Amino acid sequence: MSECTHDCSSCSSDCGERTEPQSFLEKPNKMSSIGKVIGVVSGKGGVGKTMVSSLLAVSMQRLNKNVGILDADVTGPSVPKAFGIKAKAEAGEFGIFPAKSKKGIDIMSVNLLLENDTDPVVWRGPVIGGVVKQFWTDVIWKDIDCLFVDMPPGTGDVPLTVFQSIPVDGIVIVTSPQELVSMIVGKAVKMAKLMNIPILGIIENMSYYECPDCGKKINVFGESHLEETAAAYKLPILAQIPICTDLAKACDNGTIEDFEGDWLNKAVEAIDKI
């Protein structure tokens, strides 16, 4: 008999020390009712992941779905700002109630718990990971058809916590046109595959700028490498969002729910089919 390596997944022996793979999934609040969970991720910061998360939520709600956003970007929370939410989250006997946007999207973010929006979150990784778990286990997500998780950039502590503790049905990867970003996308793709999380596709933000006078598309950040990046990882392209000053103003003014745009129709259809 060969020496035990303690790796039960690759061993056919039926010994007394054999154990089943351990699941780290956390149960949601007893009063929660959640349909599908979609993560919005990026390999680096500054590509507009929060804006895409917000637009996806708005677009999904327009299909008469009950939608929520779990803001897992604890050190850089900005979802409440995009929706113009100033009220704080409230706690009750059975858990924490998310804030509601003007049109009824449920939102939970650390900024809804801080006294001042500008207070920094100076916490270490394990504490941040614990807060993200609590946003899943302690918050009452009632009658939610689709919960979007706005992830922090990168492949570190918090994305790992989300993938391990929350049953994510699929992720959308947000990128931008620079060639450097295609390398970063590869890191996000490989992490998702390592964690067995389905990838729905790629959304390119700041893809181009359309001249308001002649309609010409200007590649502000150079030629897009989206098609070759998507082909390299065999992923569908879900959207190419242009640089849009009206959209930027809507985020800054907290009126993103009023913005009209059809760039994310294909992405929403992919999510709705899950």
pLDDT in tens, 84-131: 999 899 998 999 999 999 999 999 999 999 988 888 888 888 899 999
pLDDT at 94: 92
Q: Phi-psi bin for 222: left (phi > 0), alpha (psi -120 to 50), beta?
A: left
Dump pLDDT digits (tens) for 141-173: 999 999 999 998 887 888 899 999 999 999 999
- 274 residues of the chain, pLDDT tens digit each: 455 655 565 465 556 565 555 778 999 999 999 999 999 998 888 889 999 999 999 999 999 999 999 999 998 899 999 999 998 999 989 999 999 999 999 999 999 999 888 888 888 888 999 999 999 999 999 999 999 999 988 878 888 999 999 999 999 999 988 766 677 888 889 999 999 999 999 999 999 999 888 989 999 888 888 898 899 999 999 999 999 999 999 999 999 999 988 899 999 999 999 8
With tokens 């939608």, the residue in question is: 67
Q: In whole numbers, what is the pLDDT of the chain averaged over residues?
A: 89
* pTM of the shown model: 0.89
